[in-house]
Structure 1
Amino acid sequence: MSKGPRPLLGLLAGVAAGLVASAAMAAFQAQAQKLLPDNGDEDPATVKAADAASLAVIGDPVPELYRAAAGQAVHYVAGAVIGGIYGVLAEYRPEARSGFGSAYGIATAALVDEAAVPAAGLAPAADETPLIAHAYGAASHLVYGWVLEGVRALIAGRR
């Protein structure tokens, strides 16, 4: 059996692991939000992203009845894509799995929550965000990274 990278297996394992990790992240966030101050009625970035996509495609925002589901769809699609990238990366660069997925989880928090989401206008800039929100995001992405690596390793194996 070849000891080389298996990009297709890595991709499939990463996508599957990304979906499971997204569910774990959502469960963590549902509990953690009970400890955080209320942020008012502001939509989460995932709902704002769904609205932006809907506006671009059909010219209207997501109807109120479907906003929560559309936000969840964005969350899971993003988690699957980010997981797929991780799965392939882990096949070529074992150090990507550092800290049992912790390094990747923190990297995604930095790149997604701290950079891409504010740059897309879906959240305030990092320097306008309370420290507790940064900690919440980092903790959420740590959970994502741990579960991502755990499930990826179950599917693709530890090498």
Structure 2
Amino acid sequence: MQRLSIRLASGLMLANGHSSYRSLSIGDHKKVLPPTGNLVRDHRLQHPGSFRSLENLFIVEIMSAEIEQLVMEHLEMGVMMEQLHTQFSEAMSFIGILCSANTVTKDIMFDINQTLDTTRAQVMSLRRAQQEALARERDRNLVMETMAAKIQELERRLNDK
């Protein structure tokens, strides 16, 4: 019975257990695929029963090329996934930096709010002190005006006598 095996250049192990270089073999003898349609027709005429084996070899060759294409696409996908992983890692690192900056900004805003609250309280206290000082000054001025009026009244009475 003839044995059929496929090996790929990509380094993958096939389901039938063969490893990774590309060849087509029937039994222990390597077969070279005919390069032209004329050779295929001549071979078919000379060996009518072996055409199915040759057809199987073509199918295997096509499948081998398709598998090799899939492997290459898989490798390209792996490279793309690695690039996405790198970009994702960089994005996560940047997000971490933004979160740290946000925390620092919140701390600064909290400190500024506390300072503003303290400043407002001091300004209100100064305004009250200023209003109290102005009220005392008005009272003093009123007392002085009243005393000045009484002194003038007393001087006028003394001058009248």
TM-score calculated relative to the size of structure 1: 0.24
Larger Rg computed on CA atoms: 2
Question: Larger relative CO (CA 8 A, sep 6+): 1 or 2?
Answer: 1
- Given the two structures, how large is their TM-score scaled by the length of structure 2? 0.24
